[in-house]
Chains A and B, each alone.
Chain A
Amino acid sequence: MKQLKVRQLASQKIHIKEETRNFYNGIFIDLGELVIFSINVIKQFFRPPFEHRELIKQGFLLGNKSFALVGVTGFIMGLVLTMQMNPVLADFGAQTLLPSAISVAMVRELGPVITGLICAGKMSSGIGAEIAAMRVTEQIDAMEVSGTNPLGFVVASRVLATTVTVPLLVIFADAFSFLGAFLAVNVFEDTSATLFIDRAFAMLGFRDLIPATIKTLFFGFFIGLIGCYRGYNAGIGTESVGTAANSAVVVASLTIFVIDLIFVLITNIL
């Protein structure tokens, strides 16, 4: 009896080891496939026919759907950040630095990352689910058999659309956060809009703006790419639509942090 239990435990251990190995192998296989997929998508950017109508349509849809959420989040972030930082800065008698501190924090880091995460949740999952549904209902296959490359029409247009819209949404989020911060500053003391803007931009330079903007381009590219990749490679059955959407959000969110880390390291070196 005891021998049987030991044997069962040993076989369970082997099974777990195998599952772990498969899990890690799966990650590397997935990563390799994602690289090949992204190369094929980038090739489509330069290959006619250029799907400009679809690009504009997707850009409008994706941007429009996320605009309100990004705006409200930015506004609240500015408001909250100001209310949190004001007492701390007041202790050091540095309240005048508040607009500058908020603008640097928002433009450099919080604006891009928070907007990136919102877009990862909203755009990546939406794209993943939509393309997975197209895969499940054989719409992607229908495109292929009619001689149309779905990578160009479906994928490249969406990836380009997110690459363009995410940086624009970050600019909106930053602007709304300034508005929130301005209102919060006025709770503590009367400050004119001109003075607030002067102070907010006093410490902002191209060293802050350029890396932040480039970073958001990468955020947008990967948000679209991961959503498309998960949807395009969805399995069969309706269950795979949910799986594609869910995994797209998880991977895209994680990717936002990794890209952010890489950019911070590069900016610090430069």
Chain B
Amino acid sequence: MEREEVIVVKELCKSFGDKRILRGIDLVLHKGENLGIVGKSGTGKSVLTKCIVRLIEPDAGEIKVLGTDVLACDTIELNEIRKKVGYLFQGGALYDSMSVRENLLFPIRRTQFIDKKQDSDELVEKSLRSVGLLDAIDKMPAELSGGMKKRIALARTLILKPEIILYDEPTTGLDAVTSGEISELIIKIREEYNTASIIITHDMKCAKIATDTIRIMQEGVFVVEGTYDELSRSADKEIRDYFI
């Protein structure tokens, strides 16, 4: 049986001034799939994920998320789609002026209009429990370590029960142990929430643990696709070099 396509990207192009970043990207993400995107810095990986949620407007191409053409959406439709797509930013992007609890309450109060304190508190606690950080509920972001920030940001993403999660370098700047924990967490979240994910990473350990397939991006195009084992044993040295 063919799996449902949750993200379809066709011929996506984006330039900044004279610099062409994305040069006709094609991509399909299926329900329940964890797709890794690997490539050197500046090849357009983050630009691609930001185009998918329209944080960046592409120049040309087509993007369908959960069957909706996001480039043809108005603001209200786009916000509805965005609620179903979680985005984990490189630095976590926690709101500095709010405690962990308020960070998690922020999206649900504004998008799900849950007024009952008990209901929202339960959601916050459930989300924090799933990332193993219930103890940090009343802390401020400044009191958290890098790994904790990423986990809290993930909890904030999970609170809206997204169908898709876009991870932008989820393990960057973390030690090997914490990176491993985050990678395991990505797998746990897929099992618990049945999400599909795109994981941008430079961390090959994370790619090995958290992804089903990997695509390598070079200068705005995908050059090869395969599993970790296939690509790490590729006959092409240039491909193998990514996995050293």
Interface residues of A (CB under 8 A from B): 49, 133-134, 137-139, 141-149, 153
**Complex Cα distance A137/B83, Å?**
21
**What is the interface size of chain B, counting residues whose CB is below 8 A from a CB of the partner?**
25
Given A49-B110, A139-B96, verify A147-B89 contact (CB < 8 Å).
no
Find out whether the CB atom of A147 lies under 8 angstroms from the CB atom of B80: yes
Q: Could you say which of B79, B83, B90, B111 contacts A138, with CB atoms under 8 Å apart? A: B90
**Interchain residue pairs with CB less than 8 A apart (18):** A134-B96, A137-B91, A138-B89, A138-B90, A138-B91, A139-B93, A139-B95, A142-B87, A142-B93, A144-B53, A145-B53, A145-B55, A145-B82, A146-B82, A146-B83, A147-B83, A147-B107, A149-B79
Q: Tell me the B117-159 residues at the A interface (CB within 8 Å).
A: 153, 156
**Complex Cα distance A146/B78, Å?**
11
Interface residues of B (CB under 8 A from A): 50, 53, 55, 75, 79-80, 82-83, 85-87, 89-91, 93-96, 106-107, 110-111, 153, 156, 160
Q: Nearest B residue to A61 by beta-carbon distance?
A: B97
Q: Nearest B residue to A136 by beta-carbon distance?
A: B91
Find out whether the CB atom of B93 lies under 8 angstroms from the CB atom of A147: no
- Secondary structure dominating the interface of A: helix
Question: Which 3 residue pairs spanning A and B have beta carbons closest together?
Answer: A142-B93, A146-B107, A147-B79
Find out whether the CB atom of B89 lies under 8 angstroms from the CB atom of A144: no
Find out whether the CB atom of B106 lies under 8 angstroms from the CB atom of A146: yes
**Additional A-B contacts beyond A49-B110, A148-B111 (19; CB < 8 A):** A133-B96, A138-B89, A138-B90, A139-B93, A141-B87, A141-B89, A142-B87, A142-B156, A144-B82, A145-B82, A145-B85, A146-B82, A146-B83, A146-B106, A147-B79, A147-B107, A147-B110, A148-B106, A149-B79
Q: Could you say which of B50, B111, B153 contacts A147, with CB atoms under 8 Å apart? A: B111
Given A141-B55, A142-B87, verify A148-B110 contact (CB < 8 Å).
yes
Q: Give chain B nearest CB distance to A147 CB in angstroms.
A: 4
Residues of A contacting B75 with CB < 8 Å?
149
**Complex Cα distance A195/B101, Å?**
56
Find out whether the CB atom of A147 lies under 8 angstroms from the CB atom of B82: yes
